[in-house]
């Protein structure tokens, strides 16, 4: 298996090798219990899907544009920023067009934190220079950044922008982790999980284990507050 491939949509994908990793945390009820989970091999996009990549999908399929675009044109100067303000169905449609799928929550989290249960992709101490979160955006007046802007913030596998920048849709419904005693009225088949935090949220939301949620048919917030984006995963091709 190759450690880096180019997916059907032309995006680089990183191999996440099979094996156990520490999933969840004891910091916040919906993240409990922290546990060891074993996953098989899979690939995940090295970067979130960008505006220019999403535009190709829109042009070829006639799918609707992201909510912050003007017609079928993304905001000027943001070709290589992650596409935002798309709902879960939009993300799933892109994944299907690209010959991929959305990652599961566990796949996303392993790709973000590696095997050792770290809080952020780079380690256990927050560093505001390694992610686009409220801590920097409120000072610098920025929102999203180009997807390769935080080269020091990569995960142990070399996957980028998995802390801050924007929340990312995953496949799973928002429900209790296996073995959790925490209960929420939001659990069930109402909301889809969002991971990774955002430029408008603090470092707490950017932790690898943090779970947010939104209805699959909503999610685009406002141009001032941004909204979800995504990246894709893919099973290892049979050789």
Mean pLDDT across the chain: 93
Decide if domain 4-235 falls under CATH 3.90.1580.10. yes
**pLDDT of 220 above 70:** no
What is the reported pLDDT for 39? 98
Residues 49 and 82: beta-carbon distance below 8 Å:
yes
Question: Which two three-digit tokens encode residue 76?
Answer: 């000027």
What is the reported pLDDT for 89? 97
Residues 233 and 91: beta-carbon distance below 8 Å:
no
SS (H, E, C) 98-150: CCCECCCHHHHHHHHHCCCCCCECCECCCCHHHCECHHHHHHHCCCCCCCCCC
**pLDDT of 201 above 70:** yes
Q: How confident is the model over 100-152, as pLDDT tens digits?
A: 999 999 999 999 999 999 999 999 999 989 998 888 765 555 688 899 888 89
Helices then strands (H, E): number in the chain?
Answer: 4, 9
The neighbour count for residue 141, using CB atoms within 10 Å, is: 7
Question: Under 8 Å CB-to-CB from 108, ≥6 apart: which residues?
Answer: 44, 162, 168, 170, 195, 196, 233
Q: Domain-by-domain residue ranges, the chain? A: 4-235
Residues 48 and 230: beta-carbon distance below 8 Å:
yes
What is the reported pLDDT for 222? 66
* DSSP characters over 170-204: EEEES-PPTT-----TT-SSS-EEEES--TTS-GG
Give the C-alpha separation, 218 to 96, whole Å.
Answer: 19
How confident is residue 238, by pLDDT bands cut at 50, 70 and 90?
confident
Question: Which two three-digit tokens encode residue 47?
Answer: 């970067």
What is the reported pLDDT for 219? 58
Q: How confident is the model over 64-93, as pLDDT tens digits?
A: 999 999 999 999 999 999 999 999 999 999
What does each C-alpha distance from 83 to 49, 54, 228 come to in angstroms? 6, 7, 8
Which of 82-98 are b and which e, b meaning 16 or more Cβ less than 10 Å from the residue's Cβ? bbbbbbbebbbbbbebb
Question: Which two three-digit tokens encode residue 22?
Answer: 């520490």
Q: How many residues does the chain have?
A: 239
Q: What percent of the chain has pLDDT over 70?
A: 94
What is the reported pLDDT for 138? 57
What is the reported pLDDT for 1? 78
Q: How confident is the model over 15-47, as pLDDT tens digits?
A: 999 999 999 999 999 999 999 999 999 999 999
What is the reported pLDDT for 7? 87
What is the reported pLDDT for 239? 63
Q: Is the dihedral of CA 15, 19, 25, 30 positive or negative?
A: positive
């Amino acid at each position: 298996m190759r450690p880096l491939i180019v997916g059907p949509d032309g995006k680089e994908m990183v191999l996440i090798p099979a094996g156990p990793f520490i999933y969840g945390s004891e910091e916040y009820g919906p993240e409990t219990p922290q546990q060891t989970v074993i996953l098989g091999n899979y690939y995940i996009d090295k970067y979130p899907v960008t505006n220019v990549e999403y535009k190709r999908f829109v042009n070829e399929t006639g799918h609707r544009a992201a909510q912050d675009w003007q017609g079928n044109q993304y905001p000027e100067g943001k070709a290589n920023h992650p596409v935002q303000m798309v709902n879960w169905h939009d993300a799933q449609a892109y994944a299907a067009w690209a010959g991929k799928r959305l990652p599961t929550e566990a796949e996303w989290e392993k790709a973000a934190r590696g095997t050792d249960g770290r809080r952020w992709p780079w380690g256990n101490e927050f560093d505001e220079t390694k992610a686009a979160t409220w801590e920097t955006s409120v000072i610098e007046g920025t929102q999203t950044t180009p997807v390769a802007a935080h080269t020091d913030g990569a995960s142990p596998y070399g996957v980028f922008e998995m802390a801050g920048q924007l929340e990312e849709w995953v496949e799973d419904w928002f429900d209790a982790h296996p073995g959790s005693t925490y209960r929420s009225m939001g659990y069930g088949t109402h909301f889809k999980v969002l991971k990774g935090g955002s430029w408008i949220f603090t470092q707490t939301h950017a932790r690898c284990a943090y779970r947010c949620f939104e209805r699959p048919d909503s999610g685009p917030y406002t141009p001032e507050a941004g909204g979800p984006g995504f990246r894709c995963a893919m099973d290892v091709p049979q050789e």
